[in-house]
């Protein structure tokens, strides 16, 4: 029987709560492909940081590299500054493993009510291709005269031609497998270096895809259009920060943060890719057993697709769809009163092997 090794970083808050549920349903779904997964749980988290002073051991990258993929919950704890925890594990991982493609699908499932009253099931159906290794997230800059009245902080955004080009090509290739439309998010009216390069590369790449409709939107107008006409998007390509912000918006217009899945992908497969829900550690509901595990489960389905276990991925995804369509059980974020584990039981029952 074929077997895969997956590194599991539950992390903080609701991270471990939802990831354990995702593992349970994935173990069931993979029976469709007749394979096995060995889950290697790693304790790297804010608690690990409080005990050891680092987010992961010195050989952490080597350990991760020995896996076929990584499943992550969330990192971030109210008692440790985010700039320490996120810069000790999650953000460096995206760069180190060259996971430059951050895929974030937005889909309005049947049985889920969008806060946008005109949207029907399936009418919102797009994928954000977020650049994941440079842009506004480049760790370039510094602080000078710290703590003095004339303190200076400099944070430099990095846009490279190669970085823009590879995410945009991925977006156009992706659009060819969907409805053949790509929308590029920009702010070249204000950011006249990085975003102008972004636009120029988009223009150049789009010429190689005459069969794909190319559209350009300023980020402020795009935020409006995610609300006004979300049904008009197919593939959206955005820089690191713009893609981050827009995907919380795309999560809520499709019902909840608790439904939004993502993959941090190294398309060349030189390094392991990492799959995680879009949401964070949700300290406001952590420990209560009421987190929605569906975003984690849908992220696990993306992981299965990445492992080319298409039958298992489809089985898991359609089980999630069935549970949502049934309208119950539901966690409070979707208007219900049910617990995390009740959702898992329902998904397990809905998986057809
Ligand atoms: P968040 O996504 O954790 O929570 C935002 C809101 O959505 C909260 O009200 C929360 O209860 C709700 N929510 C999120 N996921 C849910 C789920 N599965 N079920 C039900 N409700 C859910 O964002 P935040 O509060 O801004 O951030 C909390 C911490 O998480 C911070 O430390 C932040 O830096 C970190 N964070 C980490 C990641 C990651 O590891 N990938 C992503 C985002 C935020
Ligand atoms: C996300 C998160 C991260 C990001 C944070 C935790 C650094 O918000 O994955 O969307 O901004 O990329
Ligand atoms: Mn985010």
pLDDT of residue 96: 98
Closest CA to 165 of 193, 203, 109: 203
For residue 311, the surrounding DSSP H or E stretch is helix 310-326
pLDDT of residue 266: 98
What are the chain's domains?
1-99+260-353 (3.40.718.10), 125-253 (3.40.718.10)
pLDDT of residue 68: 98
- Residue 338 binned pLDDT confidence (cut-offs 50, 70, 90): very high
Q: Write phi, then psi, for 200 (nearest 5 degrees).
A: -65, -40
Summarised one tens digit per residue, pLDDT across range 1-59 is: 899 999 999 999 999 999 999 999 999 999 999 999 999 999 999 999 999 999 999 99
Q: Which residue has the tokens 């704890």?
A: 77
pLDDT of residue 259: 98
pLDDT of residue 319: 98
Average pLDDT rounded to a whole number, residues 66-72: 98
Contact between 174 and 235 (Cβ < 8 Å): yes
Which residues have any ligand 1 atom within 6 Å of their CB? 14, 18, 74-76, 82, 86, 90, 257-258, 276, 279-285, 291-292, 295, 331, 333
Summarised one tens digit per residue, pLDDT across range 112-136 is: 999 999 999 999 999 999 999 999 9
Q: Is residue 300 pLDDT above 90, yes or no?
A: yes
For strands 261-265 and 141-144, give the pairing.
Answer: unpaired
pTM above 0.95, yes or no: yes
Is 231 a catalytic site residue? no
Q: What is the CB neighbour count within 10 angstroms for residue 352?
A: 10
Rounded CA separation 219/95 (Å):
24
- Residue 352 binned pLDDT confidence (cut-offs 50, 70, 90): confident
Contact between 300 and 25 (Cβ < 8 Å): yes
Q: Which of 244, 305, 333, 338 is catalytic?
A: 244
Average pLDDT rounded to a whole number, residues 218-247: 98
Closest CA to 205 of 230, 235, 244, 246: 235
Distance 249 CA to ligand 3 centre (A): 10
Is 220 a catalytic site residue? yes
Closest CA to 26 of 335, 304, 237, 236: 304
Is 193 a catalytic site residue? no
Look up residue 94 and give its DSSP letter: H
Q: Which residues touch 310 (CB under 8 Å, ≥6 apart)?
A: 33, 304
Contact between 131 and 243 (Cβ < 8 Å): yes
Q: Which residues touch 94 (CB under 8 Å, ≥6 apart)?
A: 100, 102, 132, 133, 264, 274
Distance 105 CA to ligand 3 centre (A): 14
pLDDT of residue 122: 98
pLDDT of residue 62: 98
Rounded CA separation 234/183 (Å):
8
Q: Is residue 353 pLDDT above 90, yes or no?
A: no
Please give the mean pLDDT across all residues of the chain: 98
Q: What is the CB neighbour count within 10 angstroms for residue 165?
A: 14
Q: What percent of the chain has pLDDT over 70?
A: 100
Q: Is residue 61 pLDDT above 80, yes or no?
A: yes
pLDDT of residue 229: 98
For strands 69-74 and 3-11, give the pairing.
Answer: parallel
Is 98 a catalytic site residue? no
* Ligand 2 pocket, residue 197 CB under 6 Å: no
Instruction: Give the rounded distance of the alpha carbon of 22 from its chain centre.
Output: 15
């Amino acid at each position: 029987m074929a077997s895969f090794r997956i590194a599991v970083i539950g992390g903080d808050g609701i991270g471990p709560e939802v990831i354990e549920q995702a593992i349970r349903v994935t173990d069931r779904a993979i029976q469709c492909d007749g394979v096995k997964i060995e889950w290697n749980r790693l304790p790297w988290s804010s608690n690990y940081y409080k005990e050891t002073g680092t987010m992961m051991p010195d050989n952490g990258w080597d350990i991760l590299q020995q896996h076929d993929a990584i499943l992550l919950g969330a990192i971030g704890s109210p008692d440790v500054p985010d700039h320490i925890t996120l810069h000790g594990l999650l953000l460096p991982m995206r760069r180190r493993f060259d996971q430059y493609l951050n895929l974030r699908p937005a889909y309005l499932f049947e049985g889920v009510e969008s806060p946008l009253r005109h949207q029907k099931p399936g009418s919102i159906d797009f994928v954000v291709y977020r650049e994941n290794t440079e842009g506004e997230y480049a760790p370039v800059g510094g602080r000078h005269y710290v703590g003095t009245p004339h303190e200076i902080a400099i944070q430099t955004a990095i846009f490279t031609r190669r970085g823009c080009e590879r995410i945009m090509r991925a977006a156009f290739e992706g659009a060819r497998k969907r409805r053949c439309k790509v929308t590029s998010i920009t702010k070249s009216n204000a950011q006249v270096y990085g975003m102008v390069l972004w636009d120029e590369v988009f223009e150049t790449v789009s010429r190689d895809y005459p069969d794909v409709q190319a559209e350009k939107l300023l980020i402020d107008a795009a935020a409006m259009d995610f609300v006004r006409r979300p049904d008009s998007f197919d593939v959206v390509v955005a820089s690191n920060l713009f893609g981050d912000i827009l995907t919380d918006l795309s999560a809520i217009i499709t019902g909840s943060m608790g439904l939004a899945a993502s993959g941090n992908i190294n398309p060349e497969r030189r390094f392991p890719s990492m799959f995680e829900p879009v949401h964070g550690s949700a300290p406001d509901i952590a420990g209560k057993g009421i987190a929605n595990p569906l975003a984690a489960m849908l992220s696990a389905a993306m992981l299965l697709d990445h492992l080319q276990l298409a039958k298992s991925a489809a089985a898991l995804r359609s089980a999630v769809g069935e549970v949502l369509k049934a309208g119950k059980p539901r966690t409070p974020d979707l208007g219900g009163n049910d617990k995390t584990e009740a959702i898992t039981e329902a998904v397990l029952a809905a998986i057809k092997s």
